[in-house]
């Protein structure tokens, strides 16, 4: 590691002119100066080089592609069409359905997920016997392979032979059309998402809770605050930054939801329900790429619209976060 500070380097530069082999010294000095100036960039370069290759390049190419046509079953790009693909995507009622589906599934998953995760974390933050065991077990759903959870939920939410509908049938109640009703399908998918992510979020929140100084609680106890009051007035304010982190990550994840609706899909064409009841924006991008009318350009246009939507919501998130942080500083 270059341990020299900038001052000795400058000294060295001025001193070398009187040295025995001035040229060689200068060369060395130049090297060490470059080392100092360039090294930090070289250290972070690998990340940015890899990002440029597998992140930036595909993104820019996607943007480029979205202005062209693509011949049916062709394997090469067709002529330039301007904004046509964007016009198609924005005018497509399936895209609008996908947008609302995504928002709906996102709200049905993220909101209960964060509430339940916070409560779970608060419960795990008490003096339980075998704490580590309990804490680790709530992470179990997270390590189950998505394909395996697809099997589990496939048999729970099957329309005719599913566990829930069999039970409802047994009680003489009418079956829930899981794949036909829009709200029912959102609920089913949100359940799958929540099952997977609640424990994960709970652990992150738990870590934040454990960092809260215990004397705050002792003081609250002495003041006679109940456990519930302590939760709302000590715990919640203290973990605010972590909550914001969890909310932001689950927002981004929620807007890109793909695996769960895809494995929930029983439709023959995997279009997210016969009436697109539960197709999401990422599914829309994926499925558009498999049609025969301008497949890749239209999918590229949809991907860029999705990107802008996420950037927009992330910006809102950022502004809200800043406002909340300012308030909490006061």
Smallest gap from residue 125 Cβ to other proteins (A): 44
Choice from 296, 300, 301, 305 touching other proteins (CB under 8 A): 296
Contact 78, 70 (CB under 8 A): yes
Smallest gap from residue 33 Cβ to other proteins (A): 13
Helices 240-255, 295-329: crossing angle, 10 deg rounding: 170
Choice from 2, 8, 55, 241 touching other proteins (CB under 8 A): 2
Closer residue to other proteins (CB): 231 or 270: 270
Backbone φ and ψ for 266, nearest 5 degrees, come out as -110, 0
For the chain, what's the residue count? 330
Choice from 289, 309, 310, 324 touching other proteins (CB under 8 A): 289
Count of residues that interact with other proteins, criterion CB under 8 A: 48
Smallest gap from residue 266 Cβ to other proteins (A): 6
Binding mask 203-242 for other proteins (x = CB under 8 A): ----------------------------------------
21 binds other proteins (CB under 8 A): no
Smallest gap from residue 41 Cβ to other proteins (A): 9
Tokens of 316: 């809102």
Smallest gap from residue 256 Cβ to other proteins (A): 21
b/e map 69-83, b = 16+ CB within 10 Å: bbeeeeeeeeeebee
b/e map 89-122, b = 16+ CB within 10 Å: beeeebbebbbebbbbbbebbbeebbeebbebbb
Smallest gap from residue 268 Cβ to other proteins (A): 5
82 binds other proteins (CB under 8 A): no
> Sign of the C-alpha dihedral, residues 137, 143, 146, 147?
negative
280 binds other proteins (CB under 8 A): no
Q: Which stretch binds other proteins (CB under 8 A): 118-126, 157-165, 197-205, 223-231?
A: 157-165
3-state secondary structure of 68: strand
Dist. CA 86–CA 282, nearest whole Å: 16
Residues of this chain, 29-68, that bind other proteins according to CB under 8 A:
31-32, 35, 39, 42, 45-46, 49-50, 52-54, 57
93 binds other proteins (CB under 8 A): yes
Q: Count other Cβ atoms within 10 Å, centred on residue 202.
A: 26
5 binds other proteins (CB under 8 A): no
What lies within 8 Å, CB to CB, of 158 at 6+ separation is 165, 178
Q: Count other Cβ atoms within 10 Å, centred on residue 297.
A: 27
Choice from 5, 17, 126, 160 touching other proteins (CB under 8 A): 160
Closer residue to other proteins (CB): 137 or 274: 274
Helices and strands counted in the chain (H then E): 17, 0
Chain centroid to CA 201: how far? 12
292 binds other proteins (CB under 8 A): yes
Contact 33, 9 (CB under 8 A): yes
Q: Which stretch binds other proteins (CB under 8 A): 28-36, 124-132, 209-217, 303-311?
A: 28-36
Dist. CA 137–CA 142, nearest whole Å: 10
3-state secondary structure of 2: coil
Contact 287, 279 (CB under 8 A): yes
Choice from 180, 219, 252, 320 touching other proteins (CB under 8 A): 180
Report the interface residues with other proteins, using CB under 8 A: 1-2, 31-32, 35, 39, 42, 45-46, 49-50, 52-54, 57, 70-76, 88, 92-94, 158-161, 177, 179-180, 266-271, 274-275, 289-293, 295-296
């Amino acid at each position: 590691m270059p341990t020299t500070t900038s001052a000795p380097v400058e000294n060295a530069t001025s001193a070398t002119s009187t040295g025995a082999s001035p040229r060689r010294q200068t060369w060395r000095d130049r090297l060490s100066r470059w080392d100092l100036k360039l090294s930090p960039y070289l250290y972070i370069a690998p990340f940015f080089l890899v990002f440029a290759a597998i992140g930036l390049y595909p993104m820019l190419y996607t943007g480029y592609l979205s202005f062209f046509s693509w011949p049916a079953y062709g394997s090469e790009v067709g002529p330039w069409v301007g904004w046509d693909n964007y016009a198609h995507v924005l005018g497509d009622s399936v895209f609008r359905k996908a947008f609302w589906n995504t928002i709906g599934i996102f709200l049905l998953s993220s909101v209960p997920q964060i509430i339940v995760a916070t409560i779970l974390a608060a419960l795990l933050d008490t003096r339980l016997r075998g704490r580590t065991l309990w804490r680790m077990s709530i992470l179990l759903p997270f390590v189950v392979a998505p394909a395996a959870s697809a099997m589990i939920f496939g048999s729970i939410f099957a329309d005719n032979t599913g566990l829930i509908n069999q039970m409802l049938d047994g009680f003489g109640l009418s079956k829930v059309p899981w794949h036909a009703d829009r709200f029912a399908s959102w609920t089913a998918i949100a359940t799958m998402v929540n099952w997977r992510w609640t424990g994960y979020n709970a652990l992150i929140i738990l870590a934040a809770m454990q960092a809260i100084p215990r004397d705050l609680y002792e003081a609250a106890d002495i003041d006679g605050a109940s456990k519930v009051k302590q939760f709302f007035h000590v715990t919640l304010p203290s973990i605010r930054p972590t909550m914001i982190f969890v909310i932001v990550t689950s927002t981004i994840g929620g807007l890109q939801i793909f695996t769960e609706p895809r494995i929930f899909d029983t439709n023959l064409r995997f279009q997210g329900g016969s009436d697109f009841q539960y197709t999401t924006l990422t599914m829309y991008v994926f499925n558009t790429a498999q049609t025969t009318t301008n497949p890749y350009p239209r999918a590229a246009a949809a991907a860029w619209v999705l990107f802008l939507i996420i950037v927009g919501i992330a910006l809102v998130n950022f502004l809200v976060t800043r406002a909340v942080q300012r308030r909490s500083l006061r």
